[in-house]
Amino acid sequence: MKRFTTATIALLLTGLATNAMAWGGDGHRTVAAIAFALLPPDKAQAINNLLRNSDVGRGFVDAASYPDEVIRGQDHHHVFSPWHFVDWPIDKAEFSDAFCGDACIINQLPRNIDIMRSTTDMQAKALAISWVIHLIGDLHQPLHVADHSDRGGNEFKVTYHGRATCPESNSSGQRTKVELHSVWDSCLVFSLENGRTFDKLADDLRGNLTTYQGHAAATGTPMDWMRETHSAAIATAYDGLNNGDDIGDSYVNQALPVVQDQLLKAGIRLAKILDENF
């Protein structure tokens, strides 16, 4: 397994905590594939080349899951874990820094954007880019920016169509244990794919869009986007559910348009952030 130098790691490390992943691998790659297609081609290729030739060792789309699939397997993973989320209670309409601590997503995303933009260390730049790609995806997963005293749904017990596990993705063949958090990470994305690969899903969500520029979603700030996602958690993810419920067709039919919308918005906004800061 590749490891970054101590200097590169030190450039990015802060905080301590743990939490589950956001969007499973297919969700993160869908967001990245949308962004890749919406970037100016020369910039998309330059980012792809930098990532592939760095210690990240992956192209643009696969780098989206690098923080989950590689960094979480390293000895220092616990340092990065709190970057992926913020425990914003669903009964609090306004965000407070008290929900965050130094290391949560709404602080780490701009820090990595700044590193991506300003550092001349190509290894640090590539690592920061992989985090930006990943964290923009996380920011749009409702249960990564909302909490109901259940660790963002990790302790909210449900079944999915009567089952205690669901497929993680159309491509991996793996299954994941079901709780409300993993329903939004994986189960709903798998249902949305409906037999499609993540790249086909990305193409279908993007439709005729060829640029992020001028799209309504390409406005606002990461804080604005987090507020939208928090609202989606209240209005859809937690709506009408009790601990122990089964996630059936009624819930899924309401949730899938939200998943679709969040993945597309994330891809559009990722393209904007990368274009403006790389």
Q: What's the CATH superfamily of 13-277?
A: P1 Nuclease (1.10.575.10)
pLDDT at 106 over 80: yes
Write out the H or E segment, with its range, that includes residue 150. none
- Residues facing 247 on adjacent strands: 160
Look up residue 276 and give its two tokens.
């403006």
pLDDT digits (tens, 9 = 90+) for 165-179: 998 877 677 889 999
- How far is the C-alpha of 108 from the C-alpha of 124, rounded, in Å? 14
Q: What residue ranges do the domains of the chain occupy?
A: 13-277
Are 56 and 127 in contact by the 8 Å Cβ rule? The answer is yes
Nearest-10 Cα torsion for 234, 230, 172, 20: -100
pLDDT at 14 over 50: no
- How far is the C-alpha of 185 from the C-alpha of 228, rounded, in Å? 17
pLDDT digits (tens, 9 = 90+) for 188-211: 999 999 999 999 999 999 999 999
Buried b / exposed e over 181-193, threshold 16 CB at 10 Å, is bbbbbbbbbbbbb
Q: What is the mean pLDDT of residues 219-226?
A: 98
Tell me the residue type at 131.
Answer: W
pLDDT digits (tens, 9 = 90+) for 75-105: 555 667 888 999 999 999 999 999 997 689 9
pLDDT at 158 over 80: yes
- Residues facing 176 on adjacent strands: 166
Mean pLDDT of the chain: 89
- How far is the C-alpha of 256 from the C-alpha of 186, rounded, in Å? 12
Q: What is the mean pLDDT of residues 263-273?
A: 98
273 burial (CB, 10 Å; 0-12 / 13-18 / 19+) is: buried
Distances (CA, A) of 33 to 50, 145, 193, 221, 237: 17, 23, 14, 21, 25
- pLDDT band of residue 72 (cuts 50, 70, 90) is low
**SS3 of residue 198 by DSSP:** helix
Write out the H or E segment, with its range, that includes residue 171. none
The pTM for the full model equals: 0.90
First-last CA distance in the chain: 27
